[in-house]
Amino acid sequence: MTPLLIDQADQLDQVSAGLDGAKVLFIDTEFESRRGGTDLCLIQVTDGESLYLIDAIAIRDLVPLADVIGDAEVTWVTHAGRQDVDLMMKALKLRCRPKIYDTQVAWSLVSAEHQVSLAYLVAVLLGVHREKGHQTDNWTRRPLTDAQISYAADDAEDLVALYAALNQRLDKLQRRDLVVEVTSETFKPPPARSDHISLSRYRNLWQLNGPQQAALSALLRWYNALRNHRGAPHYKTLFSIAARLPEDPRSLGDIKGVNPRFAHGEQGAAIIELMAEAADGADELADASGPSPYATFDEYFREAWLSCARAELSAALCIAPEVAFPPWLMKRLRAAVKETIELTDLAGEFDGWRGCLSDPWRKFCEDTNA
């Protein structure tokens, strides 16, 4: 494709007309980062037939392109494009993020690799070795050189070829539709899940006597029932509260980590009462036999087992481990593995598109006599 440089506002109508009706747009950007922020300098966009290099320095108002490029039915194809997408949405003043097909994500759904460069993917899938010397150019300078224009155009054209090559591999595994869903997941914060706090979270539980442990159990039932923990003491502070067994709001408020407003409010009064009820009549001797170990070989084996499960399932399904088992999921599984005897039950942790991991997880548990 012959790139067309767009550096006049009256040329934007030509871009809109050329891309009108396209359902897939291949987008790359060049930008300059500085202390005060990031400047969008150039947008490379093509529908696979027409290629436009839009000078975002010369044309400050790109909103006229929003109806075509930001159409809800259009999918943007990018590579590691989170910053590209953010800059584009700001420039076009889009309220809703369009569907994003990230080629880096697509590759992670058919290989063991997660974070790879565009040049690497082009070399591996297309057999082309691109010169990346212009990657560190100052893209705010004008006029753009012929070499810069060629470099920018190559990136956009490579996305077109990568899209086709990746879809061939994705279609063999019936995963093409997953790319947009998994890409969308990368734009969101890790899913929040309010973990149930149990007595096993407290390594120093053995230091509490019977009434104090009974009070801590009551505090945990109260804490776990809260819908919103804002203003409430951190669950680690509950240990200090149970150890002190405060009898009035002032004593409760003196405990480090307890907000005085909480202590003197309705909830403060409520937990003082429930602790007193729980502690009253409890055996003076605690059930705990002594200090719990800081580490055990059983814990090491469980951690090793989980790492093997992650590698085995990722390899079996040909999905990069960082995508199949992201940090937030591994954290959840580690906590469950420490306390769960029937590990096959953890198959329920794989929801959404990760449902494909459930059966392999159960099989791995059976094969390893977990």
pLDDT, residue 118, reads 95
Torsions phi, psi of 56, nearest 5?
Answer: -80, -10
For the chain, domains (ranges, CATH) are 3-186 (3.30.420.10), 204-279 (1.10.150), 297-367 (no CATH)
Question: Using CA atoms, how far apart are residues 94 and 100, in angstroms rounded to an integer?
Answer: 14
pLDDT for 159: 98
Task: List Cα–Cα distances, 180 to 137, 161, 190, 229, in angstroms.
Answer: 31, 18, 17, 34
Q: What is the pLDDT of residue 289?
A: 67
**What is the separation of C-alpha 138 from the centre of its chain, rounded to a whole number of angstroms?**
31
Which residues of the chain carry a pLDDT beneath 50?
none
Please give the pLDDT value at position 9: 97
DSSP 203: T
Contact 286, 279 (CB under 8 A): no
pLDDT at 288: 59
Per-residue pLDDT, 338: 81
**CA separation for the pair 74, 45 (Å, rounded):** 13
- 248's CB contacts (< 8 A; 6+ apart) are 272
Question: Which tokens is 62 given?
Answer: 């790109």
| Whole-number average pLDDT of the chain | 93
Q: Please work out, in degrees rounded to the nearest 5, the angle formed at the alpha carbon of residue 107 by the alpha carbons of 104 and 112.
A: 115
The token pair at 8 is 């006049």
The confidence score (pLDDT) of residue 340 equals 66
The answer to whether 256 touches 271, Cβ cutoff 8 Å, is no
Question: Residue 3 and residue 52: Cα distance in Å, rounded?
Answer: 6
User: What are the angstrom distances between the C-alpha of 362 and each of 13, 51, 333, 345?
Assistant: 56, 49, 14, 8
Q: What integer pLDDT is reported at residue 287 of this predicted model?
A: 63
CA 370 to CA 368: how far, in whole Å? 5
- Kindly give the interhelix angle for 327-339 and 297-317, rounded to the nearest 10 degrees: 130
- Can you say whether the dihedral through the CA atoms of 33, 39, 42, 43 is positive or negative? positive
From the CB of residue 120, how many other CB atoms can be counted at a distance below 10 Å?
14
Angle at 206 between CA 203 and CA 211, to 5 degrees: 120
Q: What is the pLDDT of residue 294?
A: 86
Phi, psi of 101 (to 5 degrees): -110, 105
Whole-structure pTM value: 0.83
Instruction: Say if residues 13 and 37 touch (Cβ distance below 8 Å).
Output: no
